Every structure is written in C-alpha cells, then in structure tokens.
C-alpha cells in the first residue's frame, strides 16, 4: 500500500480518522491525505512525518 485517501464525514470524529491514519501508516502506507468537507480543509500525512494541513 503506497497511498490512501480518507474523506471525513460530518458524523466521523477527527480522532477516529487520526487512528485510522495511524493504522494505515503502521500497515505500510507511505503517503496519504484526509479531507474535511465541513471545514473545507485537507491534511497530508507521510510515514515518519507529522500530519500537516494543505494550504492553497
């Protein structure tokens, strides 16, 4: 698994999404993003790096 994408629904709590991302990283994902439509924001994550917001 190289990359994953997660769209966070209004009913999903952000900490649940972060747990899922941690699981993906532990399983071998190297790059991914999650989208939060409610706030119109996106965040990138990469193995060994902190999650960072996407700006622009």
How far is the C-alpha of 9 from the C-alpha of 31, rounded, in Å? Answer: 21
- Rounded mean pLDDT, 25-52: 84
Domain carrying residue 44: 3-53
Q: Using pLDDT thresholds of 50, 70 and 90, give the confidence band for residue 11.
A: low
The pLDDT mean for the chain works out to 80
Q: Give residue 1's pLDDT.
A: 55
- List of residues 6+ apart from 23 with CB closer than 8 A: none
* Number of compact structural domains in the chain: 1
- Rounded mean pLDDT, 10-18: 72
- Rounded mean pLDDT, 12-28: 80
């Amino acid at each position: 698994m190289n990359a994953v994408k997660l769209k966070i629904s209004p009913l999903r709590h952000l900490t649940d999404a972060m747990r899922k991302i941690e699981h993906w990283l532990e399983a071998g994902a190297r790059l991914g993003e999650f989208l939060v439509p409610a706030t119109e924001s996106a965040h990138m994550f990469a193995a060994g790096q902190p999650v960072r917001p996407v700006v622009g």
